[in-house]
Each structure stands twice: as C-alpha cells, then as structure tokens.
C-alpha cells in the first residue's frame, strides 16, 4: 500500500514535475513474469525515478547503509526503504554478496521485477564502471532475461553529495531484453559470469553513451581517496611559503 502511495500520490507526481523524464523503450519491460532491470547508477534520485515510471512494481537491492543510519534520520530512512519494498545489501565481502544473490533470487522466483545496479555503487564522476558478476549469477540461476537501462542526465540533476536536486529534464532509456539461455546451467563458471556481466554493461553503455572504465568504481574511489590523502600529507610536510 505504501509503495503505491509513493508511486502514484507522493513521489511519482513530484518527480515527474521536477525532472520531466523522457521515457524511451518502456515497451521492453515485460508486463508480467520475472526479469532483471540492470541500470547505470549516477544519482540518489535513480532509486525513485525508475520505479516511478515503470508500470509494474520493481524491487531494488539497496545498500545496507540506508537501513542502518544513526538517529531519527537513520530510522526514518530505513523505514522509508523498507516500506517501499527495497532489500538491504551488505557490500562488505564475498559472503555478503552471496546473501544479496539469495535475496534477489527470492524476488525473481515470485515472478517479480528485480532492479540492480551492477556497478555496485554510484558513479562519482559520471563514467560507467566495470560491473560485478552478481547480476549474471542471478540471471542464470533464475533463468530470466535482463533489461538494460540507462539513466541520462541524473548525474547533472543531482551529483554525489548534493541533497537538493537541480530542476532539469532527464532521460530513462530501456533496451531490448538480453537472453542468456545459452548459458543456463553454467552459473558456476567464472568466465561465463564475467562474459554475461560484460555483455550487460556493454548494452548499458550503448544506451547511455558514457565513457567506460574497465575497473570497479569502488576501487577507483579508494585509489583517488588515497592519492588525495597523500597530497594532503605532503602539503603538511612541505607547506608553500608565502611570496615576499
């Protein structure tokens, strides 16, 4: 009930007014049956924009931090995501990833739509990063198609760290369903999972037109943070002398 209230009364109309989303390829999302919608992830707004325009209910795997925040704000955020039917995902290691796959499979086995961001985190610079193989594992285990989706303009509308989005038009573009039936029964083979994931990311890339980086976003973020820390440490050791 709360999901429908958000979609049709509270958030849905507001998001349509703020972002005036241009929808392309919505006919590729099946009207019934299980499927995975795999998209790029550029903004916090992505969590709400895609569900607002898809006719069917879609359940997303959301990072666990949304459910464990401290204080009143944290409790309200957790209640909001739970009420909207989102599933918390612990991203701390391999076992956590397996738990996320199990949760996703439960959704698919009920014949529902599952939304996932294969990059595993929001892009911090607007580029598309290497996908994690969990999306492939779920697609092959559940034997379902994958619909690629590109969010275009949401990075500019609400870049990382910006709480209040800019008012600008965005595009949500869906591609033709990807059929991986030729790989069914091979979900235990790492090379197959990598190949399927790369095909999904390539389809997203074709829809979004982003620059692609063949590294995990989390790794690049950590590397940039390390370099920034090193520069800060160096500047403290050798402060710039004022010009006389």
Residues of the chain with pLDDT under 50: none
- Measured CA to CA, the distance from residue 95 to residue 174 in angstroms comes to 31
Q: What pLDDT is stored for residue 205 in this prediction?
A: 98
Burial of 217 (C-beta count, 10 Å sphere; 0-12/13-18/19+): buried
144 neighbors 105 (Cβ within 8 angstroms) = no
Please tell me the predicted confidence (pLDDT) of residue 160.
83
% of the chain exceeding 70 in pLDDT: 89
Distances in Å between the Cα of 161 and the Cα atoms of 40, 68, 122, 125 are 18, 19, 11, 12
pTM of the model: 0.87
């Amino acid at each position: 009930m709360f999901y429908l209230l958000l979609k049709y009364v509270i958030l849905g109309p507001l998001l349509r007014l703020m972002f005036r989303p241009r929808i392309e390829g919505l006919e590729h999302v099946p009207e019934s049956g299980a499927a995975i919608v795999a998209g790029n992830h550029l903004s916090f707004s992505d969590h709400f924009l895609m569900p607002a325009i898809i006719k069917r209910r879609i359940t997303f795997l959301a990072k666990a931090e949304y459910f464990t925040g401290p204080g009143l704000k944290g409790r309200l955020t957790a209640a909001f995501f739970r009420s909207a039917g989102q599933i918390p995902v612990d991203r701390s290691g391999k076992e956590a990833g397996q738990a996320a796959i199990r949760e996703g499979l439960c959704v698919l086995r009920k014949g529902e739509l599952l939304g996932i961001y294969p990059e595993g985190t929001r892009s911090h610079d607007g580029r598309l990063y290497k996908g994690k193989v969990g999306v492939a594992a779920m697609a092959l285990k559940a034997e379902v198609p994958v619909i690629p989706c590109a969010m275009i303009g949401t990075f500019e509308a609400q870049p990382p760290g910006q709480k209040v989005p800019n008012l600008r038009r965005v595009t949500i573009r869906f591609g033709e369903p990807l059929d991986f039936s030729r790989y069914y029964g091979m979900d235990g083979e790492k090379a197959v999972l990598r190949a399927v994931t790369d095909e999904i990311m390539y389809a997203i890339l074709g829809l979004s037109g982003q620059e692609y980086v063949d590294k995990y976003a989390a790794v690049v973020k950590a590397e940039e943070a390390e370099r920034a820390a090193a520069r800060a440490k160096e500047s403290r050791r050798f402060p710039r002398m004022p010009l006389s």
